[in-house]
Amino acid sequence: MEERRAFKRARFDKLVRCNIVENGEMTDAIAQSVNISAGGISIRPEYVVEPEQPLALEIVVPGYYKAIYARGHIRWSRGDDMEDRSVAGIEFTRIASQDQQRILDYVHF
């Protein structure tokens, strides 16, 4: 099976602050991350999210004192209200180049 991802991923078991836009309203939430790459992050949100929902993220990468702030949208989501938690893949749509480099450094460490 051919790998379609543009960036290498690494396990990333950290809490991430998310501001998700839903029905025109901003919802502040904390999500558990699963993995991260320079192109996006996989999270376990507190509730089911839908593909294409925009969101803002605050991510703290170990070894750095300053949080990374990025914008993105949900590319995919699995799970439902009956499951323990859903999983969602987020694609970064706006991230500073130095923050993207910090993630690359973390992933390739």
Kind and range of the H or E element at 10?
strand 10-11
State the pLDDT at residue 7. Answer: 84
Outline where the chain has alpha helix (H).
97-107
Q: How far apart are CA 98 and CA 104, in angstroms?
A: 10
Query: Per the structure block, which two tokens stand in for 24?
Result: 């025109």
Q: pLDDT tens digit string along 52-103? A: 999 999 999 988 889 999 999 999 998 755 556 689 999 999 999 999 999 9
- The helix/strand/coil state of 107 is helix
Q: How far apart are CA 85 and CA 99, in angstroms?
A: 28
Domains of the chain: 10-107 (2.40.10.220)
Identify the top-confidence range among 3-17, 19-33, 84-98.
Answer: 84-98
Query: Per the structure block, which two tokens stand in for 78?
Result: 């699995």
Distances 7 to 25, 53, 82, 83, 107 between C-alpha atoms, Å: 31, 22, 32, 29, 9
The torsion angles phi and psi of 66, rounded to 5 degrees, stand at -105, 135
